[in-house]
Structure 1
């Protein structure tokens, strides 16, 4: 297939591109910079004045949107929150515009999303059918982002909204920072330790995306989390066990708030999220439980 990717240079985008190339697909990366084609990868400029990607994209089968300023960088002050929000709205709006302009539409738009759309809770279990949404910055951002992506459905394009959990990988995401204190013999429970961590291995993220491309019945929200979320205390203890380091030095909530500001909610709060759609469609996780997932990543 011919697959267009926005956000192909990010943590997930790079891994996804490698896997899609191995499968024999042709990849078009949307980029702001001039880059030369290489093998089955070509580049098309976008999001700059005078760029019209639809003039260079012919008969694309799939659009994948991973573009947006990372929520992991910065302190979530007003300026950074605006960048996070605007980058997602602007990028998705442009993709929908390009799809609208194409005479031959792709069959599917795979759009990144996040479990931050669900309200933080110690007791609730969320599936894609859950209606209660978070009334905070991240909840509003994700909700608006999904609504923007769903505009592609007006053009008979299947829209899949991949609600990523805490993605575990060595090249990005939360794991390197979460594992660092343990490697320094200073690991311990973060916050109360009772908050849920709905995690997923990067390999299963990539496999879930390719699964959603191939499964015509999959549309709308898809929780991309392992079927066995754990509480933060267990998550930390498992890191320590895997790399043979102690779990002993607690990090109280006020310390996280001092260091991270508003962004501390990412580690001090959590949601118990169940991947109902993937499970009903018989998706097989390579890493359904935490210890083997961490061993695969941290022992390399």
Structure 2
């Protein structure tokens, strides 16, 4: 089995590669040397590295594509230049993949393409699933809407497209939890404002498990929320993390401070997203970590072993 993977050196992609040992992987990367160094303990000789999709005329011979490429959305303040970089890194790569699929005589049978729950914007305390249609001028929504629109052009009788709207992925080597880990270990953690905003979290192993499940489930296509069945408020997340680390939970961060620090990007921490993974559970996927406390206990245990 042969798979094209983009974003393979990122937080999610690098973990996914550990589970693709029986696949022949073609990995798109901007820096082959840096990718080989990062993945030296993962690469068992099954990975071929390419720097540009222009090296491919089609995707004949590929069984699947997983597209996780994209400039990190939360690492820098959203200047106009950074916004353009965020958009281009997602839209252009996805468009190139779609063109290659459409140019293929025997295209891949499945194309899994990234997106994010940021599509939905602030939904307060209202629970929702993939059936919620949103129209908004917000940047995060616009990024996801165009990203998904491009990807879905690859859908055909021969290629099914699964768009994954990913939530807050919890793991030790990247994402939000890595940034929170040290402050909470030092007893400096706390909710943002009153902490009423919902966090659509997912354990990294369930994120990977869901991607693998979508690869293998031939009837799966369309939009999927990749988040645990039981989202929690920011206050509950903060309290549970402090409890799991056996640390005090006394401080709060004012919302105005987050807005001052992050500007428009503050929505990533302040929007409330009580997202449910309805379509994923409907096709039979079973979460290993449906509730937050066991998920965090698992990660703390892994941290202690490390």
Q: Decide: shared fold, TM above 0.5.
A: yes
In structure 2, the residue matched to 1:14 is 14
CA contact (8 A) 1:116 1:142 kept: yes
Q: Distance in 1 between matches of 2:145 and 2:60?
A: 31
Q: Distance in 2 between matches of 1:285 and 1:60?
A: 29
CA contact (8 A) 2:60 2:107 kept: no
In structure 1, the residue matched to 2:224 is 222
Q: Distance in 2 between matches of 1:186 and 1:276?
A: 35
Q: Distance in 1 between matches of 2:136 and 2:68?
A: 22
In structure 1, the residue matched to 2:3 is 3
In structure 2, the residue matched to 1:44 is 50
> How far 1:124 moved relative to its partner?
1.9
Q: Distance in 2 between matches of 1:269 and 1:192?
A: 13
CA contact (8 A) 1:212 1:218 kept: yes
CA contact (8 A) 1:189 1:248 kept: no
SS in 2 for 1:153: coil
Q: Distance in 1 between matches of 2:154 and 2:193?
A: 40
Q: Distance in 1 between matches of 2:121 and 2:50?
A: 38
Q: Distance in 1 between matches of 2:10 and 2:136?
A: 26
Q: Deviations over 1:33-61 (max 9, x none)?
A: 345786111122315xxx33236x55100
Whether 1:30 aligns to 2:28 is yes
Q: 1:227/1:34 Cα in 2 relative to 1: closer, same or farther (>3 Å)?
A: closer
TM-score by length of structure 2 reads 0.92
Whether 1:182 aligns to 2:184 is yes
Number of equivalenced pairs: 294
TM-score by length of structure 1 reads 0.93
CA contact (8 A) 1:169 1:201 kept: yes
CA contact (8 A) 1:118 1:126 kept: no
Q: Distance in 2 between matches of 1:228 and 1:25?
A: 33
Q: Deviations over 1:215-236 (max 9, x none)?
A: 1111110010000000000000
Q: Distance in 2 between matches of 1:12 and 1:194?
A: 28
Q: Distance in 1 between matches of 2:32 and 2:185?
A: 40
Structure 1 residues not aligned, in runs of 5+: none
> How far 1:245 moved relative to its partner?
0.6
CA contact (8 A) 1:100 1:155 kept: no
In structure 2, the residue matched to 1:297 is 299
Give the RMSD, CA atoms, in angstroms.
1.6
Q: Deviations over 1:84-128 (max 9, x none)?
A: 011111110111112122222000100011001113122322211
Q: 1:16/1:138 Cα in 2 relative to 1: closer, same or farther (>3 Å)?
A: same
Moved over 4 A (4+): 34-38
SS in 1 for 2:155: helix
Q: Distance in 1 between matches of 2:74 and 2:57?
A: 31
Q: Distance in 2 between matches of 1:94 and 1:155?
A: 20
Q: Deviations over 1:138-177 (max 9, x none)?
A: 0010011000001101473111001100000111111112
